Structure 1
Amino acid sequence: MNPGLLPGIVWEATVGSWISFYSLWVLGDLSEHAYVPYLVHFVETLAVGGGALTAFAVVGFVAARYRPEGHRELVSFFGYWGFVSILGYPIVTDIMAPWAIIHAVVPLSIPAAVGLVWFARAGRSAVAARDYRTAGLTAVILLLAVSQVTLGGVSQVYLQPQAEDNQLVQYGQPADDLRPTLNRIERVAAANDGVDVLYFGEFFYITNETSGSLPERDKWFNQLPLPWYTAMYDANVTSARNRTQFDPLFERERPPVIITIANDRGYVTRRIGVHEGSGYDEEIYRLRTFGTRTAFFVNESAVPRTEVVTFIPPPSKSPDN
């Protein structure tokens, strides 16, 4: 361990992280979107994935805040944390991601536990007092809560985990297995000089391939998850918005990998001569579970061929010689 690194570590863990946070989330445009649609999506997702928990959290917060013995600070703290998260995360999140509700669900679980216990005790007290109406109402509420959790979990997780309208799923990974083609891209990127990967078309076009910087970040997200792999392969990546940009780039660079949305593959196929012995072959994958059918054109002739030499030992001398 080098003690001399400690000041830099402390700086990056405190001031440096705050500067990075402020420049990205405050000065950047990640939160420059309409608030109401993001809030509606957050609340809808919370209702599907944590509706019962949220309802119990409200009950638990009120019960702990206004009990005769005085409010419980810890429960109130987690309640405020969760409710503020519901209002705040739609502002700071840059995409409508279902997983974002976890930032509200976790703190709300504390007052929700208090609310669940409050209902259970109310039902038990009602049964002891022979107040069967209150006991029955409590049982119905608890049964509805269990049903919401059970039916939601079974439906969204087991029965239709890949349904297009599944409120709990963010489709961010490819529906098809890209590994064989990614392995080929890695090989040609290592062997090629110049541009390794060329994106074609408006859907994938961004002005700065190396960083995917704003304001073209939406197009960079369209390329995901491919940039993670091309960065890992240290590939030289660029893009062409239209045919006017594509033709000179292709003539000058002859990139071994060309990627385009499937709707634009016809022009690329004709231009690079896929069916005319150009060395390129084509594979089509879905970058998401729905839509984004993408064509990959890979020319592995850019990979130097390693000549295989078979060692043949010289004939041994005959004892008679």
Structure 2
Amino acid sequence: MVGFLVARYGGDRPRPLVMFASYWGFVSILGYPLATDIRAGWIMVNAIVPLVIPAAVALALVVRTGWQSLAAEDRVGTVVSAALVVLVVGAMLVPAASAAYVNPTADDNELVQYAQPQQEFRETFDDIGAIAPTHEGTDLLIYGNELVVEPGTGGGMPPECLNLGHALPIHWYVAADDVTTECAYNESELRTQIEADSPAVVIAHVNRDGAVTAALDGEGEYERRQLHLRTMGREVVVFVDEDALATAENA
């Protein structure tokens, strides 16, 4: 704000570059949170980048004032200017170093958005991809409103029945391996789907563990795996049909 005011009123005429960057940054602060469906701290980088220009104008004003105070032997002005410079530089460097180098993957790092599952999920995705070509019917059934949208409200990236914000990156792996995927929003749909066509793999939020276990009772031998759909958080259970996996491995 200080840099904007200096550029707007501090000279004979406004400075176009600073004014443009200021308006760009101010609009971004308001616009990005309203327009984006991504709830992550890094999204505000889109506003910070243009605001660097008016911030540099304000910092230059402080430095010039400090030099003038030093030349005039104004001890108070010099100390205040130096303190402001140290405070501003420290406020930039300390969080940046901590977030990027000291604790880059800490659970409380608000700049990190975990979009990929933990490494051990790779084996499960590989198994699903191997099962798909050799399995008839539904390869993958995904259950529960934590991952599935309400019937009739889906859209966007296939499979459209999945909640795009909560189920990613399942969409990517399903598309890459051409996995036949169905969804069950509630428990009655889950039982109907399983009775009609025993799926090779079932994925659900960990809170749905009991419902899936009960629905699969008597449907064959399923290996249960408990994994994270993100590097941190969003824990899911995966049930893999051992016969379907064995068939894929022997194909």
- Same topology, TM > 0.5: yes
Quick one: percent identity of the two aligned structures? 37
**C-alpha displacement at 1:197, in angstroms?**
0.9
For residues 183 and 85 of structure 1, what CA distance do their matches in structure 2 show?
41
Match of 1:202 among 142, 145, 154: 145
Secondary structure class of the residue paired with 1:172: coil
**C-alpha displacement at 1:217, in angstroms?**
8.3
Secondary structure class of the residue paired with 1:282: strand
Show structure 1 runs of 5+ residues with no match. 1-57, 308-321
**C-alpha displacement at 1:73, in angstroms?**
0.8
**C-alpha displacement at 1:200, in angstroms?**
1.7
**Structure 2 contact 148–161 (Cα < 8 Å) conserved:** no
Q: Which segment drifts farther, 115-124 or 217-226?
A: 217-226
**C-alpha displacement at 1:176, in angstroms?**
4.8
Secondary structure class of the residue paired with 2:163: helix
Assess, with a 3 A threshold, how the Cα gap between structure 1 residues 177 and 69 changes in structure 2: closer, same or farther: farther
Q: Which residue of 2 aligns with 1:255?
A: 199
Q: TM-score, normalised by structure 2?
A: 0.85
Secondary structure class of the residue paired with 1:194: coil
Q: Which residue of 1 aligns with 2:61?
A: 118
Cα deviations by residue, 1:69-94 (Å, 9 ceiling, x for unpaired): 42211111111111111122222122
**Structure 1 contact 210–237 (Cα < 8 Å) conserved:** no
Q: Which residue of 2 aligns with 1:155?
A: 98
For residues 161 and 65 of structure 2, what CA distance do their matches in structure 1 show?
53
* Letter matched to residue 229 of structure 2: L
Q: Which residue of 2 aligns with 1:234?
A: 178
For residues 89 and 217 of structure 1, what CA distance do their matches in structure 2 show?
27
Cα deviations by residue, 1:27-59 (Å, 9 ceiling, x for unpaired): xxxxxxxxxxxxxxxxxxxxxxxxxxxxxxx22
Q: Which residue of 1 aligns with 2:17?
A: 74
Assess, with a 3 A threshold, how the Cα gap between structure 1 residues 287 and 304 changes in structure 2: closer, same or farther: closer
**C-alpha displacement at 1:192, in angstroms?**
2.1
Pairing 1:102–2:45 present: yes
**C-alpha displacement at 1:226, in angstroms?**
1.0
* Letter matched to residue 285 of structure 1: L
Q: Which residue of 2 aligns with 1:87?
A: 30
* Letter matched to residue 132 of structure 2: A
**C-alpha displacement at 1:267, in angstroms?**
3.2
* Letter matched to residue 80 of structure 1: Y
Secondary structure class of the residue paired with 1:260: strand
Assess, with a 3 A threshold, how the Cα gap between structure 1 residues 208 and 190 changes in structure 2: closer, same or farther: farther
Structure label with greater radius of gyration: 1
For residues 141 and 226 of structure 1, what CA distance do their matches in structure 2 show?
48
Q: Which residue of 2 aligns with 1:310?
A: none
**C-alpha displacement at 1:141, in angstroms?**
0.3
For residues 186 and 233 of structure 2, what CA distance do their matches in structure 1 show?
21
**C-alpha displacement at 1:116, in angstroms?**
2.1
**Structure 1 contact 209–238 (Cα < 8 Å) conserved:** no
Cα deviations by residue, 1:259-294 (Å, 9 ceiling, x for unpaired): 011122223234324xx8934212111123544221
Q: Which segment drifts farther, 104-113 or 171-180?
A: 171-180
Q: How does 1:1-321 map to 2 (within 5 A)?
A: 58-206=1-149, 207=151, 211-212=155-156, 219-273=163-217, 278-299=220-241, 301-302=243-244, 303-304=247-248, 306=250
For residues 80 and 209 of structure 2, what CA distance do their matches in structure 1 show?
62
Cα deviations by residue, 1:99-126 (Å, 9 ceiling, x for unpaired): 2211111111122222222222221122
* Letter matched to residue 109 of structure 1: V
**Structure 1 contact 176–287 (Cα < 8 Å) conserved:** no
Assess, with a 3 A threshold, how the Cα gap between structure 1 residues 91 and 115 changes in structure 2: closer, same or farther: same
Secondary structure class of the residue paired with 2:13: coil
Assess, with a 3 A threshold, how the Cα gap between structure 1 residues 166 and 65 changes in structure 2: closer, same or farther: same
For residues 91 and 101 of structure 1, what CA distance do their matches in structure 2 show?
12
Give the aligned CA root-mean-square deviation in angstroms. Answer: 2.7
**C-alpha displacement at 1:230, in angstroms?**
0.7
For residues 217 and 141 of structure 1, what CA distance do their matches in structure 2 show?
53
